[in-house]
Amino acid sequence: MSHADDEPVTNFSTNPHMTDILASRLSRRQALLGGLSATTAAMFGSFGVSGCSNGDGDGSSTLKLGFDPVAHSLADMVSVPSGYSAAVLYALGDPIKAGVGAYTNTGLDANFESRAGDHHDGMHYFPLPLGSQTSDNGLLCLNHENISEAYLHIAGPTTANGARPQAEVLKEMNCHGVSVVEIRKTGGVWSVVQDSAYNRRVTPFTEMELHGPLAGSGFATTKYSPTGTVTRGTLNNCANGYTPWGTYLTCEENWAGYFKRAEGDDANRNGADNALLARYGISPGRSGNYGWTTASGDQFQRLDITVTGASASDDYRNEAYTYGWIVEIDPYHPESTPRKRSALGRLGHEGCVFGPVKAGEPVVAYTGDDSRNEYIYKYVSNANWDPADANGGLAAGDKYLNDGTLYVAKFNENGTGEWIALVYQSNGLDETNALYPFGSQAAVMVGARLAADSVGATKMDRPEWGAVNPKNGEVYFTLTNSSSSSSGRGQGGSGSQPVDAANPRSYDATTGSLSDSLDGNVNGHIIRWREDGGMASATTFAWDIFLFGSRSSYGAQINASQLTDDNDFSSPDGLWFDPRGLLWIQTDDGAYTDTTNCMMLAAVAGKVGDGGEITLGSQKTYIGALPSEDSLRRFLVGPKECEITGITMTPDGRSLFVNIQHPGEKGGAAAPTSNWPSATGDATVTGTPGARPRSATIVITRDDGGAIAL
């Protein structure tokens, strides 16, 4: 079983990308200028523009990129601009408890509950102490999305008499989850504090509380928790979030693949249950990733959701309903139990990003569902923000994340959009619904994809990370690609993707032509929107496309953002506004990797509406102002067969943390295809020939100690 980004298409609903296009009463011009009317400009000012020196909502215009662009690279090392250094800080297997030995990287190491996991992904730096702006001591929280199984054992994974050895499965599962590690800078050098009391691994075995509509609803009833209030573990933790109250969010993405479901199990369930499982990709006959359920022990076999007992409290038929959530972790309290926040819906969650909070207004968070043809969602709390909760931990999470409204996005052809509420007994989400008989808010949240299908949300080209511009509250989302060919990262199928204004390209990966056999949106794009009235909780918005990914060699119909050798990219995935308002773009690509390894770029963002209308093929859309080499530059290129994902920074802007995930992902222990990182800890040099590659967090600093990238 490969760990490869397995995002099977499970959205076969009949709504096309742009179904039921409503003729909007707003013209495009009105939509884009709406936020600039006298009334809304005043509201906008109180929302987030206060940090903007020119006050026009374009909070990045005073930023200036101050580094030389990094060239394309196929080298097995990290490349950063001249005058910068990159050091390995926290790599697969590194010990995080006193007395645990150094990682041998031979396949012999065990006890990963006390070591770094694999496949580093979303990440955030929390200063120590809580509430401070400390830039030389903090807690790094990061996700371990998956594993490079081939490198974890002496000579790859084994199976005996149809069963995986328990020790191997234990190791693989403990390599998933989350790390919380204290880091400290001493003498200019960052290191992990190996014996810190804060250090912690959250794994697929860690007990989790269920909160929100799911808790006690019956959907989560299992042999382990007959009352349906707790579950074990978190899986496939991709991107992340961090709350306004000082906690970390880890997001469960491709969790469905880990579950086994025997052939014929559909005969023991009703039609609604079968439809629900199928919509999330768990049809009968699935064996479950890596064969974990073949190991002996309840903690492994509970991932087999086949109905075997007399009732839900006798087996694990419902175990998969306890996955697919956003999970809140309090890094400052290592003894605390993580909480799954079911009011944010059950999806293939990529990440979760908050709008700027304002006293007396709801808390707003955005989350994307990363599979082809899935949707973008927004959560709006019922409770209004109280700044006294700023360091409130999980109790504040209970207040803001357990009660609220989940919306799904519809992008209209004219550059406007709307948020459609997913609330039981509204918008047709009730027992009479044709897709699923929603009988409660718990059902709407557990079946959020089906709910979104039925209200006519816009199918997107794989929503990955979101980011909110701290200067003006505008929201950016990467749409990594919709490729249906082997030349992209998309899965299976063939032929063109349907296009619409918000997902406007489908083209041939080899020629970059709209007219040959179409592979889909091969290189992805970044969409952005501004909530009407500058209110994060608004139910309407205006959007445009910030950037189109492309080879610089493609023609203008594909390379619509006119990218050059210094800033072209493919398959944007990670996305983050740093506190200064600089936008960082990271790639997880398979379509441009003949030319360059995956990369990270820095961008000075403009604002929605700063470009204009264009037509690509026969599809009209809206594009932001074209980037220049002063506003978009490549900052980093990673080693072979990696993706770049996960990014955070110290409050002083002088230490930048980035994750290198799965270098050498196509190789094996006998013939590694990457040897990164080097044993010296310098991320910018190649490793020892023959050495097994390791996912790792690196820390980037400027040699003169200055602010990163500016």
Binding site for Ca ion (CB under 5 A): 5, 238, 464, 573, 588
218: left (phi over 0), alpha (psi -120 to 50) or beta: left
Residue 510: how many other CB atoms lie within 10 Å: 12
Distance of closest approach, residue 367 Cβ to ligand FEO, in angstroms: 12
3-state secondary structure of 294: helix
Work out how close the CB of 479 gets to ligand FEO at its nearest, in angstroms, rounded to a whole number. 11
Query: Measured at CB, which residue is nearest to Ca ion?
Result: 588
Q: Quick one: what does residue 500 bind among ligand FEO, Ca ion, none, with the CB cut-off 5 to 8 Å set by partner type? A: none
Q: Tell whether residue 665 is a contact of ligand FEO (CB under 6 A).
A: no
In three-state secondary structure terms, 204 is coil
Output the six-digit token pair for 255. 């969790």
Considering only residues 427 to 486 of the shown chain, the ones binding ligand FEO according to CB under 6 A are 464
Residue 145, binding choice from Ca ion, ligand FEO, none, Cβ under 5 to 8 Å by partner class: ligand FEO
- Residue that the structure tokens 């749409």 belong to: 479
Cα 200 to Cα 178: distance, rounded to the nearest angstrom: 8
| Residue 407: φ, ψ to 5° | -115, 160
Which residues in 680-709 contact ligand FEO (CB under 6 A)?
none
Which CB atom, from 65 or from 251, has the smaller least distance to ligand FEO? 251
CB of 586 to ligand FEO, least distance (A): 10
463 vs 470, which CB is nearer to ligand FEO? Answer: 463
Cα(191)–Cα(140) distance, rounded to whole angstroms? 11
Q: 120 or 633: whose CB is closer to Ca ion?
A: 120
Q: Please state the closest distance from residue 427 (CB atom) to ligand FEO, in A.
A: 27
CB of 370 to Ca ion, least distance (A): 7
| One-letter amino acid of 640 | K
Could you tell me the end-to-end alpha-carbon distance of the chain, in angstroms, rounded to an integer?
43
For 312, the 3-state DSSP assignment is helix
Provide the 10 A C-beta neighbour count for residue 636: 28
The 121-160 contact track toward ligand FEO, x by CB under 6 A, reads ------------------------x---------------
Number of helices and strands in the chain (H, E) = 8, 32
* Distance (Å, whole) CA 75 – CA 85: 17
Q: Which tokens go with 426?
A: 């509204």
Report, in Å, the least distance between residue 146 CB and ligand FEO: 8
Encoded tokens for 650: 């110290």
The answer to whether the beta carbons of residues 127 and 332 sit under 8 Å apart is: no
Query: Locate tokens 């359920």: which residue?
Result: 293
Cβ distance to Ca ion smaller for residue 58 or 464 = 464
Q: Give the x-and-dash track for 345-384 against ligand FEO (CB under 6 A).
A: -----x-------------------x--------------
* Cis geometry, peptide bond prior to residue 129 (ω within 30 degrees of 0): yes
CB of 238 vs ligand FEO, minimal distance in Å: 3
Q: Which of 238, 451, 535, 560 touches ligand FEO (CB under 6 A)?
A: 238
The option from Ca ion, ligand FEO, none interacting with 253 (CB < 5 to 8 A, set by class) reads ligand FEO
Provide, rounded to whole angstroms, the least separation between the CB of residue 565 and ligand FEO.
26
Q: Which of 149, 182, 253, 531 binds ligand FEO (CB under 6 A)?
A: 253
Residues that bind ligand FEO (CB under 6 A): 5, 145, 238, 253, 350, 370, 464, 573
